[in-house]
Amino acid sequence: MDNKNRPIGFFDSGVGGLSVLKEAIKIMPNEDYIYFGDSKNAPYGMKSVEEVRELTFKAVEFLLSKGVKGIAIACNTATSAAVADLRKVYPNLPLVGIEPALKPAVELNNKGDILIMATAMTLKEAKFKRLMEKYKDRASIIPVPCPGLMEFIEAGKFEGKEVEEYLLDKINTYKKGEIASIVLGCTHYPFIKETLVNIVGKDVEIIDGGLGTAKELRRRLNEKNLLTDSTNEGKINVINSSNKDEIIELSYRLLKG
């Protein structure tokens, strides 16, 4: 097959990266995609960096074995653990990762605190420390680790009492009028955005890095002249390590919703 018309690979610890794939489909609708979710080994956020690095390398090898022309690591946790090493091992592969979208939050210049919701690992790793360092003089940035939140999304729970109580417990610590914006630093979280809006109100800007990552992926593929020349709607193939029908069904539902 012509290199241009090979699929693009997407990877996440579970169904979260579908929030990024959705953005990619919007701006590159003619591409074919292979999405690999590693729900069997999720959550990554509670594992050691070495474990996540190893799982991420395996996922990348798997996607390459399927003939992908480029890869999006659509997981903040896997990006912080492995992207630098992946770039060393695969210097010619168009590869993008995702990190909490702090820059657009700071540039809003809203008064108050910027809350960064993410996994404990993302917030602990050097990549995020460097990001904090860059913006710490321009804004008050508060990391909010959210262990247990991705599990609701993996179980298909996006609203209702349990999710609301979880979010209330996280957010109540901060005074409502003093939150400038919230950055969703885990690709699972955009799927509970509506529930979060109901809690914090419409005035608090909620930002995620999905579109930015999709644009960066397009830029990198274009740089290597690898964007498809097809004019047909692309095909999407979702694969999940858990092998459960429910997770595949949930994945396609999330893509449509």
Contact between 171 and ligand DGL by CB under 6 A: the answer reads no
Contact between 37 and ligand DGL by CB under 6 A: the answer reads no
Contact between 13 and ligand DGL by CB under 6 A: the answer reads yes
| Catalytic residue status for 146 | no
Residue number closest to ligand DGL, CB atom: 45
Catalytic residue among 24, 75, 171, 182: 75
Q: Which one, 7 or 45, has the nearer CB to ligand DGL? A: 45
Contact between 228 and ligand DGL by CB under 6 A: the answer reads no
Please give the Cα distance from 150 to 37 (Å, whole number): 13
Catalytic residue among 186, 206, 214, 221: 186
Contacts of ligand DGL in 197-226 (CB under 6 A)? none
| Catalytic residue status for 75 | yes
Site string for ligand DGL, 50-89 (x = CB under 6 A): -------------------------xxx------------
Contact between 12 and ligand DGL by CB under 6 A: the answer reads yes
Residues that bind ligand DGL in the complex, under the rule CB under 6 A: 12-14, 16, 42-45, 75-77, 119, 122, 150, 186-188
Residues assigned a catalytic role: 75, 186
